[in-house]
Structure 1
Amino acid sequence: MIEAINEALDLKMAEDPDIIVMGEDVGYFGGVFRATAGLQEKHGKNRVFDTPISECGIIGAAVGMGAYGLRPVPEIQFADYIYPGLDQLISEAARLRYRSANDYIAPMTVRSPFGGGIFGGQTHSQSPEALFAHVAGLKTVIPATPYDAKGLLIAAIEDNDPVIFFEPKRIYNAPFTGYYDKPVEPWKKHRDSVVPEGKYSIPLGKARIAMEGDALTVLAYGTMVHVTEAVCLEKGIDAEIIDLRTIVPLDIEAIEASVEKTGKCLIVHEATRTAGFGAELSALVTERCFYHLEAPVERVTGFDTPYPHSLEWAYFPGPVRIGEALDKLMSE
């Protein structure tokens, strides 16, 4: 996924001189996860540059660049660090088009690694996607495969609205076995592991069927797509797994079609349970598919606690908790 993201940035920068990459350590060092490696050398220090450690300043500067006519792609080093820039995102970037009656726009893509997987603890592992899904005017994208990461990032950069682009660092360097608590064969045969050369884009708001099935529907995004797929394959459950790709805009048509077919729905995400995006998904499924449901909607999520450092793998929705939810739905 790191290589796919780097390719997307390189392609777009070569194509459009108005694209600027900025953030902490993104220039000479190439970013803490190496997603911007080589870009400064290739595209110059005026277009790929390091910033002070000021997330409010990074995002505020990007808003101004977008209004001026550039297409900035700021990187926030970890999603946990994005909070000092919330006012700029919510009060400025998300509202600029509306406040100016479409005279000004903020075509910026804020990239940030999110979620657990590196034992980063409470300040390097949070999943704050629900905060941004609540803000009208922002789009929120979460890829689950290298193929999607490249195509969705290209689409996000080309979009005229501000986009929050969360990258699941637990699968940054996949294929590997760290997305699960033991080696799992299906990953080695994953059909989305090949990333084509050249430019392609994936429309924002279009979900992907990660696995077809008839027994029940699973709604997930990011790392949880792969964890759930591995559990379903191990247990032999004929689940249909919908990789949402973007939570705003949301492909509600794909969700409805799947739930109406299967009659059951499981929602899996890494973020805390209370007011997590899974709550919105559950409400939408209940509102729109009530008469097709054969059982209550189930959720498997992170816990309502600050992110634990040493207990990271217990915090993740994993094979035990997901398996229990699947068994419960299958028995109803």
Structure 2
Amino acid sequence: MKHSVCLLEAVNLALASEMRRDEEIVLLGEDIGVNGGVFRATANLRDEFGLKRVMDTPLAESMIAGLSIGMASQGLKPVAEIQFMGFIFPALEQIICHAARMRNRTRGRLTCPMVIRAPFGGGIHAPEHHSESTEALLAHIPGLKVVIPSSPARAYGLLLAAIRDPDPVLFLEPKRIYRSQQQEILDNGEALPLGSCFTLREGSDITLISWGAMITETLAAAEHFQNKGVNCEVIDVASISPLDMTTILASVKKTGRVVIVHEAPRNAGIGAEIAATIAERALLDLQAPIARVTGYDTVMPYFRLENHYLPNTQDIIDSINETLEFA
């Protein structure tokens, strides 16, 4: 059956679909049951699956992560929600020291099939702890997969894959685009591959690399140049750990020019890792320096300055022009 859904509804659809298929899946988090979560991503799921499978927890992120690890090690498949990415820090000890190391520590005897969902990023006029983009911190941890959907279809398929994965997955949902677009999705239970990029536009003149909410502005910039006869290839990274450099390098070899876009701070961001790998493995294919369009190395400001912090379409256009003009 096809559904016309936004990204938020696609998350709900994937959760419901997988919970019907697999009785070992349980949801837990703050206000996810009775209220359906702060953004209503889990709305109506408690009514269908009951309080034993959709559990409200105290405001205790470390406990949520620790309980999920215990469940996962004993045969359940927990999907935990952290209300905002900026609240995840109390849970990092559990995630980094235990969830990420379970397979290695037990030499494969135990795995940790758990998902932690968290809305992240700016753009909704929220305070700084509700607007952070610290995905690079999580991607640095061996044993964790970090996935960021950029559309309803990818949210549905990637969340199914994350739930089915035998190891822990951080599933970061760009809340700025939770309700910004509708897509027709066939609820057929087909997962998308983790650890793979998606080429959203084929092009021959320049490669644009982004993920999450910034895909919207990146595609708008590509459309601007299409009208000027410049063909931009747009790559949605989707999985920042593991990182699919094979797809990226193939595109760079074809175009010779690269602009990387992310809203997270510039310093030590995922864009820097992508740029470094391109420089190591495809330097002779480049016709211009690699450009980055990013957020600033500062705390996300309050809403009056939020739009000054977030990269916009014009910022990307300016960077593309500079890259194309390099001789």
Q: Which residue of the other structure, out of 149, 163, 171, is the alignment partner of 1:165? A: 171
Aligned to 1:329: 323
TM-score scaled by length of structure 1 = 0.94
Q: Tell whether 2:131 aligns with 1:131.
A: no
Aligned to 1:311: 305
Question: Do 1:215 and 1:262's aligned partners in 2 also have CA atoms closer than 8 Å?
Answer: yes
Q: Which residue of the other structure, out of 8, 30, 33, is the alignment partner of 2:36? A: 30
Question: Do 1:76 and 1:111's aligned partners in 2 also have CA atoms closer than 8 Å?
Answer: yes
Question: Do 1:118 and 1:170's aligned partners in 2 also have CA atoms closer than 8 Å?
Answer: yes
Matched residue SS, 1:194: strand
For 2:287, the aligned partner's letter is: E
What's the CA shift string for 1:93-125, capped at 9, x where partnerless? 000110011111110000000001211121100
Matched residue SS, 1:312: helix
Matched residue SS, 1:57: helix
Q: CA deviation at 1:249?
A: 1.4
Aligned to 1:21: 27
Q: Tell whether 2:184 aligns with 1:194.
A: yes
Q: Which residue of the other structure, out of 56, 73, 78, is the alignment partner of 2:62? A: 56
- How many angstroms apart in 1 are the aligned matches of 2:60 and 2:68? 12
Matched residue SS, 2:186: coil
Aligned to 2:206: 216
Aligned to 2:155: 149
Matched residue SS, 1:305: coil
Question: Do 2:158 and 2:191's aligned partners in 1 also have CA atoms closer than 8 Å?
Answer: yes
Q: Tell whether 2:283 aligns with 1:290.
A: yes
- How many angstroms apart in 2 are the aligned matches of 1:93 and 1:197? 30
Q: CA deviation at 1:321?
A: 1.6
Q: CA deviation at 1:234?
A: 2.0
- How many angstroms apart in 1 are the aligned matches of 2:313 and 2:153? 25
Q: CA deviation at 1:197?
A: 2.2
Aligned to 2:219: 229
Aligned to 2:3: none
Coordinate RMSD, CA, aligned: 0.9
Aligned to 2:4: none
- How many angstroms apart in 1 are the aligned matches of 2:62 and 2:114? 14
- How many angstroms apart in 2 are the aligned matches of 1:223 and 1:281? 18
Matched residue SS, 1:301: strand
Aligned to 1:255: 248
What's the CA shift string for 1:240-265, capped at 9, x where partnerless? 01001101111111001100000011
Aligned pair count? 316
Question: Do 1:210 and 1:225's aligned partners in 2 also have CA atoms closer than 8 Å?
Answer: no
For 1:281, the aligned partner's letter is: I
Question: Do 2:225 and 2:232's aligned partners in 1 also have CA atoms closer than 8 Å?
Answer: no
| Runs (4+) off by over 6 Å | none
Aligned-pair identity (%): 46
Q: Which residue of the other structure, out of 272, 275, 281, is the alignment partner of 2:265? A: 272
Matched residue SS, 2:260: strand
For 1:268, the aligned partner's letter is: V
Question: Do 1:205 and 1:248's aligned partners in 2 also have CA atoms closer than 8 Å?
Answer: yes
